[in-house]
Structure formats: structure tokens, C-alpha cells
Amino acid sequence: MSDPDTLKFYADNAADYVQHATQPSPKLSAFLSRLPEGGTILELGTGNGRDAAAMLAKGFAVTPSDASTELAAEAGARLGVPVRIMAFHQLDEHGAYDGVWASAALLHAPRAELTDDLARIFRALRSGGHLMASFKAGSSEGRDTFGRYYNYLDEEQLRTHAADAGAWKSIEITEQDGSGYDNLPTRWLWLHAVKPEA
């Protein structure tokens, strides 16, 4: 994610943003239960570090990352571990992780870039690895009231991006009502994709 206006929002509001939604995602436990004990996890868009903190507390080897240097600094101070400053398109690892966690992160990836970003994740996962990622549902890309870019996908569009990115063993998409930093009603899409065993 390298949209200037989105990055500027997080730069200007980092200290306030990290106080929002301090409890781990309710989807996190199910994700972790699918991974080997002490497994390696790449977190994309660590934000305030809440989910990384929960993963580290459970003994996983977590690499938190964020495209925002300001959020990375806030999360790093909370976690006591370095946060990699990295945009999605900069991911260039192969077979390195048992899981990739991207809660409210890849929703900022430009539609034209999303398939390539998911392909990079596919390559970065080990055999049998799991991806969990959440997106705000919609029909066309746009910006929220804070000027942040979102790709706003429907289920069919998200499934197509995922299927075009790699030969996944399975692709599951579930829907959930909730909210976000803007406190507006939000329909969330959760993508769970599994890489085949070698």
C-alpha cells in the first residue's frame, strides 16, 4: 500500500489510531489454531500491534510489518520488537511463513495491484500455509470520509483476485457485520486461503 493520502492519514493520526480497537481480532484464535505450534507468521498492516502482541504471547514467531513508518514506530514501542516497514508490493520471500495475517490491511491495496500482492503472499507461504485477510465489502474502489483509499470488493471479485494469484488448495470467504475506525456500519469479507502441501 503506497497511496499518499492514505499514508498521510496514518502519519497524521498515528498516536490516536493506535488507541482504537485494542482487543485482538475475534478471528485470530481460529487462524492460530490452524498453524503449527511456534510457527512463523508475517503480519501485514500491524497497525497498533494488538494482534501481533497476542500472537507473540502465544509463542509464535511473528514478523510484524506496516507501510506507515509512524504506525510501525507506535507498534514497535508496544511490542518491543522491530516492525518491518514494507508495502505489500515489496514482499519478496519464498516459503518463509506458516501463516500470513492481514486484518484490515490488504483492503488498501489498489485493485490493479491486489492479484500480484496475493501472489507474493502465496509464494511467501510454506507448503500448507494459511492466509487470513479482511476487506470492506463494496462494488467499486473509493475513499472513506478520512480520505483513505479502499478497494471495496464483493465476494466474487475477491475470489477472482485470490484464484488468479495462485493454485490454492482452498479459498473460503465469509461475511461479518462490524465497524471500523470511522464507527460506521461495515460489512466485512474475510478471506481464508490455504496453500497446498508440497
pLDDT digits (tens, 9 = 90+) for 3-58: 898 988 888 887 777 676 567 888 999 999 999 999 999 999 999 899 999 999 99
pLDDT score, position 38: 97
pLDDT digits (tens, 9 = 90+) for 87-124: 999 999 999 999 999 999 999 999 999 999 999 999 99
Higher pLDDT, 70 or 14: 70
pLDDT score, position 101: 98
pLDDT score, position 22: 65
Where in the chain are the domains? 4-194
pLDDT digits (tens, 9 = 90+) for 125-160: 999 999 999 999 999 999 999 999 999 999 999 999
pLDDT score, position 150: 95
Q: 183 falls in which pLDDT band (50, 70, 90)?
A: confident
pLDDT score, position 113: 97
Q: Give the side-chain half-sphere CA count within 13 A for 183.
A: 2
pLDDT score, position 16: 77
Q: What HEC string does the chain produce?
A: CCCHHHHHHHHHHHHHHCCCCCCCCCCHHHHHHCCCCCCEEEEECCCCCHHHHHHHHCCCEEEEEECCHHHHHHHHHHHCCCCEECCHHHCCCCCCEEEEEECCCHHHCCHHHHHHHHHHHHHHEEEEEEEEEEEEECCCCEECCCCCEECCECHHHHHHHHHHHCCCCEEEEEEEEECCCCCCCEEEEEEEEECCCC
Class of domain 4-194: alpha beta
